[in-house]
Amino acid sequence: MPNNSIYYQQREPSPLRSIWLLMSSNPFVVVAFWALSIIFVLMLLSPLITPYDANQQFADAILQPPSWHNEGEIRFLFGTDDLGRDLLSRIIAGSVYSLGYPLVAVAFAALIGIAIGAWAGLSSGMRSSGLNHMLDVILSIPSLLLALVIIAILGPSLFNVMLAITLVLIPQFIHSVRNAIRDEIHKDYVTASKLNGCSTWYLLTRVIFPNITATVVMQLTFALSTAILDIAALGFLGLGVQAPAPEWGTMLARSLDQVYLYPWTMVLPGLALFITILAINVLGDNLRLSIQKRVEQ
Amino acid sequence: MRYTLQRLLLLLITLVLLSLFTFSLNYFFPGDVLTNMTGIRAIDANQYASVALERDINASFPQQYITYLGHILSGQWGQSLITQEDVFQTMTPLLGASLELIVLTMLLSMLLGAPLGIYAALTEGGSFDRIITGLGLSSYSIPVFWLAQMLILFFAVKLGIAPISGQINPLYDVPVTSGAVLIDIWLNDYPYPYAALLDALNHLWLPIIVLSIMPMTMLIRITRGAVLDVLRQNYIRAARARGLKGSTILTRHVLPNAMQQVVGQLGLLFSLLMSNIIIVEVIFNWPGIGSWLVKSIYERDYPILQAGVLVFATLILLVNVAVELFHAWRYPQVRKELYAE
Amino acid sequence: MMTAFVQGCSPASQRPEPLQQGLIYCSEGNPESFNPQLVTSGTTVDATSAQLYDRLLDYDPERQEFLPGLAKTWHALDQGTRYRFELRPNVGFHQTNWFTPTRNFNAKDVIFSFERWLDPTHPYHAIGGGRYPFFSSSGLRSLISKIEQVDDYTVDIHLRRADSSFLANLATDFAIILSAEYGAQLLQQQQPEQIDRQPVGTGPFIFEEFRKDAVVRYRRNQDYWRQAAAIEQLVFSITPNANKRMLKLLTGECDVIPYPLVDELQQLADTSEIKVTSAINPSVAFWAFNTERPPFNQPLVRRALAHAINRSAIIDAIYQGNARTATGMLPETSWAYAAQESGYVYDPELAQELLQQAGFPQGFSMDIWAMPVQRAYNPNAQRMAELIQADLARIGVQANIVSYEWNVFRQRLAQGEHDSVLIGWVADNADPDNFFRPVLSCAAKQSGNNRARWCDPTFDQLLLRAISEDKRSQRTELYRQIEQYVFTQAPLIPIANSLRFQAQRTDVEGLTPPSYGGLDFRQARRLEQEPQQ
């Protein structure tokens, strides 16, 4: 492909892009990225592609084994559960609850958390430092415990679970964004912009933010895996999304009634949960390593 | 000294905030505030009137809170809405049972995790190292309730080498004093100590393995990272150049410095463990604080719920501060961080 | 026998003493109280009645006759309006850490135990809630006018009218005898509520400890007036999850479990180790509507919902063939059972039509309360609720499934906080009246036991006529009419009649699931060696 530009250009890739270049050299990251993308697309298309309705009960096919099993049937690829509902359809439809809703919760938490974090990062002195120490302490309390308390107050339902998860994620964002900004704010390039007379808003959005995007993305992946695990754990304890919603943790919990004879009802939703979280964690972890490497370079 | 004081002050403030939080829970929970606080229902008119007086329920909020704090500190935590038993007395053996799990899990994770992490670092790029780094993220991503169920199915049901749930075979009527069954057998001079001890250990090992998988693999990763970090430092190169023996470098220079980073992360590990213990106790029917807390949510037993939250959070905060203080005492250089701003 | 002994390595012969002489029963829930007078739940009755206490008389379901209990003999006097009981001498109460009896059982204890629930001014009447559901809903409270002590070992009970079900009601698990002396001691110590928490009785087992969600522990009463129990220690290990109970039976952590998942157990179990027994335990599972709440106050709506659910699919999925579709309240085993038409036909279109007539063409949203535990009549209410939820969705009714911990669940039910509930009834005695009066009468509504909160004078009138009738054929006809009335009014929808199952390890014997009432562990014992094949 001919290069249109006749001048030699040294193009410095954006921070996020340079990190991706670093990361994509790791095959695991590529696999994880694709796995997550596929799950995400499946989730978006779930109303269209599930073979059956997730709540449709086939009275003639209760606890049908998966199709690769001797007694399995091809019409139920992953078999059926104790009410004769198609597991494949339920797992695909369940991705909305187990991936989609956590994504929404994380998005809200990020919006609020980043806003507060940015404010705290820019304002200096005791106020900010006190907030920081407080956050340190709050963050040491597991998010699941806080979510449990909120559910105890509000009662279990999809909306309350979302509210609880969003609330418990906010402090993490405040903390990481604030720290990231404080790390950047004393660097020369920020001081230079300041001396140029940039407004605070410009400073924040145009100068500092591009340089902390990677940290924020890392925090996003971390929050997402926390949100998925917590929603599933609440579902498992029967305090989360309520029946008949095919949330993966809830499916796991009810599979316990027949797990010994029909292990696939437990293995499959668990596997879906595991793969999703693993993919997110692999991405997040490598993001962290790459940020470190980039800083060291 | 100043550092210690500062940390303790921060701990105190946080604990006050925590108690404020549990105090306000009484108002957030559905139902009558005083009933949520004491477990005494309004039907029980006489007692209700007397606790209303005792708790200053008609006074201003600050006054109410101070009275509440006084009750918390003196162990008057009210009674359960379901069983009418004293919450504080019910709590103590449950705390013992939870601590038994926690301490043994932490011990196992540290005793295995740290050496394995060092080994992985020293053989960087080797097959063991690669397996460990691979497993690390996986074990961190496995939902603990899934893992626990699969291990129960495999070890308890399929192989029959572990019981499914409980602390000890209930036919061993070991009196409950501390709640930690290993200690109770020893404390109470139980007539069949060896049989009971064996049975208790048999009940313990599976939950401990489930619980320690995550902290252990994380610890391996942290240790590995820390050791590698130190190995790259100039003073190690210098030591090598001076011709010190490999083992001397490792024990005198690498490990002490690497452990500094590891100790700093122990608080985080502990928080993770506490999150998992809630679920693991429920799955293994372990009579601890975690399963107590979850049951209280099912049963809408608010006096117990706030007690559970209080104990749980306090435990986490205390351990975190203790780790920090130890860290700062052992490695004075980290103290500076607090004043950095 | 000899080889088994010589081999020596079979687990049974190596079991340490406490394990060899004790028995673990994995029960499905916590007992609500240690006094069955206060409750109707089978879980509590199983855990307390026959273990801790004795009754004046017992009932033998096989021979269908009454057996002497704490009363040696009894006679009906004054045309059946007065009963005289001669009491058994030399029966001692339990000696425990919290109570040392100074005298044996006598008439004072009978008076004390009866007056507790009879007399609203009795100092113990209000203790533990002041509700005596069995005695209210069975009509025993309104039947007995007076109880008096003739001498130390003779008691007279005066009735307002002759009633043939009186003795049957006295022989139930609820009419137990407490210690008057213990009651007085607790009053003096100003902690009367302890009487139901640290119980003292005359039964074959002595209460030792109760840890909620963990264990109830009993030890043998060495001085029991009948033959003492065969096991030294009896432990109720509380295991609410049915699957976990089954697995614990397989691993030997439980010796006996109630309400097993029969189908799965039979596929899994090695029959030389595990055996499943069953008893005809007259019971009915039903779906009751809170008839006080709109829209369930309209019979039309209730009938619409009745036609909307596919009961035969429920029987297949939930009971796996171990039950039959209920045609009415009475199970087939009852003598008053009359073959009915099959009850409500599954017909979603008819259901929709009925809803339209009732003014709900768009459907509505409702709660289904599903029990968190297995009962003899319903092995999995949650799953049943989900099946019903899907059926209802088809006629545009959106159902939410609600559940609480079992005791909380029952408390809230009694307060009428539900829209509808999946629950059931197990007969306390063989009289058909027991399937109607404690479940659907106005008296049952007052005692909180009427899950439909249905109070219909026509129905109560019919019941009264049926109970005062003597001839079986006429009573049968009246019960047929009653069934028909319940069918048209549909305060509840009967779903299934099933057997009561129990699974146990084969080295335990002497414990069969009871036909009526609760379990009795007195005869239970562990065989010396695991039987060799």
User: Which chains would you list as touching A if contact means 3+ CB atom pairs under 8 Å?
Assistant: B, C
- Nearest Cβ partner for B14 among A137, A145, A253: A137
pLDDT tens digits, one per residue of C414-432: 888 999 999 998 888 778 8
% chain C with pLDDT above 70: 95
Tens of pLDDT, residue by residue over C514-524, are 877 788 999 99
Tell me the per-residue pLDDT of B75-122, one tens digit each, with 9 for 90 and over.
Answer: 999 999 888 889 999 999 999 999 999 999 999 999 999 999 999 998
Which residues in chain B are closer than 8 Å to A145, comparing Cβ atoms? 274-275, 278, 309, 312-313
Contacts of B85 in chain C (CB under 8 A): 212
φ, ψ (nearest 5 deg) of residue B97: -65, -40
- pLDDT confidence bin for C527, thresholds 50/70/90: confident
The whole-number pLDDT of residue A194 equals 84
A-C CB pairs within 8 A amount to 54
- Position C5 scores a pLDDT of 35
Structure tokens given for B236: 């190690």
Contact C326, C496 (CB under 8 A): yes
Over the stretch B156-179, which tens digit does the pLDDT of each residue have? 988 889 999 999 999 998 888 888
Label residue A258 by pLDDT band (50, 70, 90).
confident
Asked if residue C348 has a cis previous peptide bond (ω within 30° of 0), the answer is: no
Structure tokens at B59: 């006074």
- Inform me whether the pLDDT recorded for A276 exceeds 90: yes
pLDDT for C6: 34
For B28, which of A153, A233, A239 is closest by C-beta distance? A153
Mutate to test the interface with A, among C264, C365, C388 (most CBs of A within 10 A): C264
Helix (H, G, I), strand (E, B) or coil at A76: coil
* List of domains in chain A: 40-296 (1.10.3720.10)
What pLDDT does residue B340 have? 44
- Spatial separation of the C-alpha atoms in residues A62 and A281, rounded to whole Å: 36
Flag if A55 and C241 touch (Cβ within 8 Å): no
Q: Which domains occur in chain B, in start order?
A: 93-291 (1.10.3720.10)
Pick C387's closest partner by Cβ from A83, A238, A260: A83
Q: Is the pLDDT of residue C404 over 70?
A: yes
Residues of A in contact with B268 (CB under 8 A): 140
pLDDT at C529 (0 to 100): 57
Q: Tell me: pLDDT of C12 over 50.
A: no
| Closest to C219 in 3D by CA, of C237, C203, C207 | C207
Residue C197 three-state SS? coil
Shortest alpha-carbon distance between residue B333 and chain C (Å): 49
Which residues of chain A are within 8 Å of residue C244 when distances are taken between CB atoms? Answer: 256
- What pLDDT, on the 0 to 100 scale, is given for residue A69? 84
Among A122-131, B1-10, C514-523, whose mean pLDDT is lowest?
A122-131
What pLDDT score was predicted for residue B62? 92
Residue in A with minimal Cα distance to C401: A243
Give the number of C-alpha atoms closer than 13 A to the C-alpha of residue C527, restricted to the C-beta side. Answer: 17
Q: Look at residue C64 in the predicted model and tell me its pLDDT.
A: 77
Partner residue opposite B173 with nearest CB, options C233, C251, C404: C233
Instruction: Name the average pLDDT for chain C.
Output: 87
pLDDT of residue C240 exceeding 70, the answer is: yes
Residues in C 291-310 with any Cβ partner in A closer than 8 A? 310
Predicted confidence (pLDDT) per residue in B24-59, tens digit: 999 999 888 999 999 888 887 888 888 888 888 888
pLDDT band at C380; cut points 50, 70, 90 = confident
Checking if the pLDDT of C263 tops 90, the result is no
What is the signed CA dihedral for B323, A221, B275, A160, rounded to 10 degrees? Answer: 130
Of A56, A244, A260, the CB nearest to C386: A244
> In degrees rounded to 5, what are phi and psi of residue C196?
-100, -5
CB contact under 8 A, B299 and C244: no
Which residues in chain A touch residue B142, judged by CB atoms under 8 angstroms apart?
274
The per-residue pLDDT for range A198-253, each reduced to its tens digit, is 888 888 888 888 888 888 888 999 999 999 999 999 999 989 888 788 999 999 98
The minimal CB distance from A83 to the residues C244, C246, C386 is found for C386
State the burial class of residue B137 (Cβ atoms within 10 Å of its Cβ: 0-12, 13-18, 19+): buried
Report residue C532's pLDDT band, with 50, 70 and 90 as the boundaries: very low
CA of C426 vs chain B CAs: smallest distance (Å): 25
pLDDT at C281 (0 to 100): 78
Confidence class of residue B239 from pLDDT cuts 50, 70 and 90?
confident
Which of C258, C403, B72, C138 has its CA nearest to residue A237? C403
Cis amide prior to C295 (ω within 30 degrees): yes
pLDDT value at position C458? 92
A108 CA to chain C: closest CA distance, Å?
A: 28
* pLDDT of C366: 93
Segment C219-235 shows an average pLDDT of: 93
Query: How far is Cα C189 from Cα A1, in angstroms, rounded to an integer?
Result: 98
Nearest CA to CA, how far is C359 from chain A (Å)? 27
Q: Which of residues 404-433 of C touch B (CB under 8 A)?
A: 404-405, 407-408
The number of beta carbons lying within 10 Å of the beta carbon of residue B334 is 17
Interface test with C, best of A53, A57, A64, A157 (most C CBs within 10 A): A57
- Which of A122, A153, A157, A266 to mutate to probe the B interface, most B CBs <10 Å? A153
- Dihedral, C216, C219, C224, C226 alpha carbons, nearest 10: 70
Average pLDDT of the segment spanning C170-190? 93
Assess whether pLDDT exceeds 80 at residue B2: no
Tell me whether 0.85 is exceeded by the ipTM: yes
Question: pLDDT class for A4, splitting at 50, 70, 90?
Answer: low
Closest Cα of chain B to A141: distance in Å?
6
C402 touches B at CB < 8 Å: no
Confidence of residue C340 (pLDDT cuts 50, 70, 90): low
* Confidence check: pLDDT of C10 > 50: no
Q: Assign 3-class secondary structure to chain B.
A: CHHHHHHHHHHHHHHHHHHHHHHHHHHHCCCCHHHHHHCCCCCCHHHHHHHHHHCCCCCCHHHHHHHHHHHHHCCCCCECCCCCCEHHHHHHHHHHHHHHHHHHHHHHHHHHHHHHHHHHHHCCCCHHHHHHHHHHHHHHHCCHHHHHHHHHHHHHHHCCCCCCCCCCCCCCCCCCCCCCHHHHHHHCCCCCHHHHHHHHHHHHHHHHHHHHHHHHHHHHHHHHHHHHHHHCCHHHHHHHHCCCCHHHHHHHHHHHHHHHHHHHHHHHHHHHHHHHHHHHHHHCCCCCHHHHHHHHHHCCCHHHHHHHHHHHHHHHHHHHHHHHHHHHHHCHHHHHHHHCC
Nearest to A145 by CA among B38, B292, B90: B292
* Interchain CB distance below 8 Å, C405 and B298: yes
**Best residue in C386, C397, C405 to probe A by mutation, most A CBs within 10 Å?**
C386
Residue A10: the pLDDT is 67
Question: Any CB–CB contact under 8 A between B30 and chain C?
Answer: no
pLDDT of residue B211: 94
Q: What is the pLDDT of residues A89-124, one digit of tens each?
A: 999 999 999 999 999 999 999 999 999 988 888 876
What's the predicted TM-score (pTM) here?
A: 0.88
Query: pLDDT tens across A280-296, in order?
Result: 998 888 888 887 777 76
Residue A2's pLDDT is: 53
**Taking all residues of chain B, what is their mean pLDDT, rounded to a whole number?**
88
pLDDT in the model for residue A7: 67
Q: What is the mean pLDDT of residues B276-292?
A: 94
Q: What tens digit of pLDDT does each residue of C78-131 get?
A: 888 899 999 999 999 999 999 999 999 999 999 999 999 999 999 999 888 888
Cβ-Cβ contacts under 8 Å for C216 (sequence gap 6 or more): C27, C31, C47, C209, C210, C235, C236, C238
Judged against a pLDDT cut of 80, whether residue C158 lies above it is answered with yes
Chain B nearest CA to C405, separation (Å): 6
User: What per-residue confidence (pLDDT) applies to C515?
Assistant: 79
Choose among C348, C341, C353: nearest CA to C309.
C348
What pLDDT score does A1 carry?
47
pLDDT, tens digit, 9 for 90 and up, residues C285-295: 999 999 998 88
Residue C209's pLDDT is 92
Residue C264: list chain A partners with CB under 8 A: 258, 260-261
| φ and ψ of C405, to 5 deg | -60, 150
Chain C partners within 8 Å of A62 (Cβ):
316-317
Nearest by CB: A151 against B145, B146, B297: B297
Q: Which residue has the higher pLDDT, B64 or C430?
A: B64
Amino acid C342: pLDDT:
59
Using a CB-CB cut-off of 8 Å, the residues of chain A touching C261 are 257-258
Closest Cα in chain A, distance from residue B340 (Å)? 10
> Residue C1 pLDDT more than 50?
no
Distance CA C106, CA C28 (A): 35
Do C390 and A55 make contact, defined as CB atoms within 8 angstroms? yes
CB contact (8 A) between residue C241 and residue A244:
no
Q: Look at residues B209, B205, B206, B201 and name the one whose alpha carbon lies nearest to residue B169.
A: B201
Distance from B102 to chain A by nearest Cα, in Å?
Answer: 15
Are the Cβ atoms of A232 and B143 closer than 8 angstroms? yes
Verify whether the Cβ–Cβ distance A256 to C313 is below 8 Å: no
Look at residue A128 in the predicted model and tell me its pLDDT: 59
- Report, as an integer, the average pLDDT of A265-269: 90
Q: Looking at the predicted structure, is the pLDDT value of residue C531 above 70? A: no
